[in-house]
Amino acid sequence: MIKDKPVRQIHTGGYIEAIGRRKTSVARVRITPASKISISINDEEFEKYFPTMMLRKTVLSVFDDVEGKFTVTAKLSGGGISSQAEALRHGLARALVSHEPSLRTKLKVKGFLKRDPRAKERRKFGLKKARKAPQWSKR
């Protein structure tokens, strides 16, 4: 099992960087204080990258308790679009906590700071999938 490394902070350019993970998705997130919230993912617009409202809500739910506005740039890789949204949320939560430590309790209660450990179980030999056995016949 891979353990998460501590949150990586870089303040040289006026931004904070953090890494979020979910299943096989990895999100490198940078937040910079700004006058309004703007998000770009892999050099694309937020609405274009996450076409459904459910995925957008997953990501933006981090900003419910935050008073400031931020410019967010993220690099997402691996996994599917749903796990990428959750990885982005995890990275955003980590970055916001390093920016403002008082948010930690609110985000922790919502479960945004925990890396969701659930992942696909590996396939075992002799079986069709992780636990599905081939059809058995008595005679």
pTM above 0.75, yes or no: yes
Q: Is the pLDDT confidence value at 3 over 80?
A: no
pLDDT of residue 13: 72
pLDDT tens for each residue of 82-125: 999 999 999 999 999 999 999 999 999 999 999 999 999 999 99
Residue 93 has phi, psi (to 5 degrees) of -60, -45
- Kindly report the CATH number assigned to the domain that includes residue 54: 3.30.230.10
pLDDT of residue 27: 96
pLDDT of residue 36: 87
pLDDT tens for each residue of 32-72: 998 888 999 999 999 999 999 999 999 999 999 888 889 99
Domain hosting residue 67, numbered range:
1-139
Sheet strands side by side (includes 16-22): 16-22, 25-34, 69-77, 38-41, 44-45
Q: Is the pLDDT confidence value at 77 over 60?
A: yes
Question: 38 or 6: whose pLDDT is higher?
Answer: 38
Domain count along the chain: 1
The residue-averaged pLDDT of 1-5 equals: 59
